[in-house]
Structure 1
Amino acid sequence: MRIGILMTGHAPEELISEIGDYPSMFRRLLDGHGFEFQSWAVVDGVFPNSIGDADGWLITGSKHGAYEDHPWIPPLEDFIRDVHASGRPLVGICFGHQVIAQALGGKVEKFAGGWSVGPTVYELEGEQIALNAWHQDQVVELPEGATVIGSSNFCENAALLYGDTILSIQPHPEFNATVIDGLIRIRGNLLPAPIVKRAHETLATPTDNDSFGQRIASFFLAERKG
């Protein structure tokens, strides 16, 4: 199965040699399931020729806001709607989670409650899981057809399911402690000091990256109607 990774951002240049760019993080997360991967840097205006270029699609995180005026966002939204209509599986992470909701009629905004950074506990379908967060923007209004399957006290719409074809989540199952530590070093000065302090102090908290990576893989591989 070929998974198309739509890169809506790049990891900080200073960290690439240490942590890799976003596609390499997702390859590690989804390793062992026989997937082939191909990436397109849509943030740089590089798009697939068609939704048929991959069997399933994944949209990465980004430093940009889904509501910002960038020339690559409207065609990405069109692509999302085409994938949705086709019934091919689509997974969105952080910005990907947000832009999917926006493309399908939801609303994303800069959350008045501030930032969530580092290990965070979510309630996901009756179970508690811990994943690393790095965001201020949130999905604040759901599109038609979206079901909330995960939330936290800070982020009400943290994980969404659209039928059996789209799965999206606000935190980053592809971010391990090394990634968060690097982001704190490079971008921590842009965040409130107490948020950064708390994230740094909890870096060693175990996360459920592997189990959520398994969930993403199973979602891609699931048989679907039609």
Structure 2
Amino acid sequence: MRIGILQTGQSPDALRAEMGDYPDMFARLLADRGFEFRAYHVEAMEFPKDVHDCDGWLITGSRHGAYEDHPFIRPLEDFVRRAYAEKVPMVGICFGHQIIAQALGGKVERFDKGWAVGPTDYDFGGETITMNAWHRDQVTKRPPMAEPVACNEFCENAALVYGDRAFTVQAHPEFADDFIDGLMRTRGKGLVPDEVMAAASARLGQPNSSTAIADRIADFFTQTRNS
């Protein structure tokens, strides 16, 4: 199964040589599950020609806000709507989670309660899942066809499913602890409150549920769908 990775941002220059860029992280996260990957740098206006060029699509995180006026935002929203209409499965992570919701009628805003950073616990249907977070924006209004499948007190719409057409997650299962530490060093200072970063640092190294989320993503892509 070929998964097209729609890259909407880049990892910091200081971290990229050692830890890779976002498509590299997703290839590692979903390794050994029978997928092949092709990346499209949509932030730089490199878009697939057709929603059927790949068997499924994965939209990455970004430092941009989904509600901001960047050249790639509207074409990406159009692509999301076409893929949804054509029943090509999509997975969205962080910004990807937000842009899918926005494109399909939801609302994304800068959350007035601040940042979620580092290891964060979520309730997935009664199961506690821990993933690394790095966001201030949130989906504050779900599209009518979206059902919440994960939440916590800080983030009501932490994961959404759109039938068998899309599965989206606010946190970052692809971010390893060392990458979160690097983000705090390279992007966090002056942006994220010191006390938030200190609390995140204290939890780095604890057990993480990235493999469990990778399994959920793989199961979503490979499930049997009605034509």
Please indicate the TM-score interval, normalised by the length of the shorter structure.
Answer: over 0.9
Summarize the alignment of residues 80-159 of structure 1 with structure 2, pairs less than 5 Å apart.
80-159=80-159
Q: CA deviation at 1:144?
A: 1.3
Partner of 1:208: 209
Letter in 2 for 1:180: I
Question: What is the aligned partner in structure 1 of residue 31 from structure 2?
Answer: 31
Shift of 1:147: 0.2
Rounded to whole Å, the distance in 1 between the matches of 2:32 and 2:215 is 10
TM-score by length of 2: 0.98
Q: After the TM superposition, which parts of structure 1 deviate over 3 Å for at least 4 consecutive aligned residues?
A: none
**Partner SS, residue 167 of structure 1:** strand
Give the superposition deviation at 1:107.
0.2
Displacement of 1:21 in angstroms is 0.3
State the match for 1:41 in structure 2: 41
The Cα of 1:170 is off from its aligned counterpart by 0.2
Match in the other structure for 2:162:
162
**Does the aligned pair in 1 maintain the 2:52–2:88 contact within 8 Å?**
no
Give the drift of 1:30: 0.5
- One-letter amino acid of the structure 1 residue matched with residue 97 of structure 2: H
Asked if structure 1 preserves the Cα contact closer than 8 Å seen for 2:117 and 2:196, the reply is yes
Give the Cα–Cα distance (whole angstroms) in 2 for the partners of residues 125 and 35 of structure 1.
27
Paired residue for 1:193? 194
Counterpart Cα distance in 1 of 2:160 and 2:175: 19
3-state SS, counterpart of residue 52 of structure 1: coil
Instruction: Report the equivalent of 1:179.
Output: 179
**1:176: Cα distance to partner?**
1.0
Structure 2, unaligned stretches of length 5 or more?
none
In the TM superposition, what is the alpha-carbon distance from 1:98 to its structure 2 partner? 0.3
Q: Write the distance in 1 (CA, Å) between the matches of 2:165 and 2:96.
A: 15
Offset from partner CA, 1:22-76 (integer Å, 9 cap, x none): 0110001101111110000000111011111100000000000000000110000
User: If the length of structure 1 is used for normalisation, what is the TM-score?
Assistant: 0.99
**Equivalent position amino acid for 1:204 in 2:** G
Displacement of 1:8 in angstroms is: 0.4
The reply on whether 1:218 has 2:219 as its aligned counterpart is yes
Structure-1 separation of matches of 2:164 and 2:213:
17
* Rounded Cα–Cα distance in structure 1 between residues aligned with 2:125 and 2:96: 21
In 1, Cα distance between the equivalents of 2:90 and 2:163? 11
How many residues of Structure 1 are paired with residues of Structure 2 in the alignment? 226
Say which SS state the counterpart of residue 134 (structure 1) adopts.
strand
Gaps of 5+ in 1: none
The CA distance in 1 between the partners of 2:82 and 2:220, in whole Å, is: 19
The residue type equivalent to 2:194 in the other structure is: A
Provide the alpha-carbon RMSD of the alignment.
0.6
Shift of 1:206: 1.2
The answer to which of 197-206 and 36-45 deviates more is: 197-206
Separation in structure 2 between the aligned mates of residue 140 and residue 173 of structure 1, nearest angstrom: 21
Partner of 2:67: 67
